[in-house]
Amino acid sequence: MQQLSEVKNHSVSVAPMMDWTDRHCRYFHRLLSRHALLYTEMVTTGALIHGDVPRHLDFNPEEHPVALQLGGSEPADLARAAKLGERWGYEEINLNCGCPSERVQRGAFGACLMAEPQLVADGVKAMKDAVSIPVTVKHRIGIDRGESYDFVRDFVGTVSQAGCDLFIVHARNAWLQGLSPKENREIPPLKPEWVLRLKLDFPGLKFVINGGITSSDQIAQHLGELDGVMVGREAYHRPWFLSEWDSLMDHPSAPLDMDQVEAQMVDYMGAQAKLGVGWFAVSRHILGLRHGQKGARRWRQVWSDHRLKDRPAAEVALLAQEALKL
The set of catalytic residues is 99
β-bridge mates for residue 126, sequence order = none
Dist. CA 88–CA 118, nearest whole Å:
28
The beta strand positions in the chain, using DSSP E, are 12-14, 37-44, 66-71, 93-97, 135-140, 166-170, 206-210, 228-231
For residue 255, cis peptide bond before it (omega within 30 degrees of 0): no
Q: Could you tell me if 269 and 276 are in contact, meaning their C-beta atoms sit under 8 angstroms apart?
A: no
Q: How far is CA 32 from CA 21, 40, 170, 171, in A?
A: 14, 17, 24, 26
- d(Cα 130, Cα 223) in Å, to the nearest integer? 31
Report whether 15 contacts 36 (CB < 8 A). no
Phi, psi of 144 (to 5 degrees): 55, -145
**Region class of 180: left (phi > 0), else alpha (psi between -120 and 50), else beta:** beta
The neighbouring-strand residues paired with 94 are 69, 136
DSSP letter (8 states) at residue 205: S
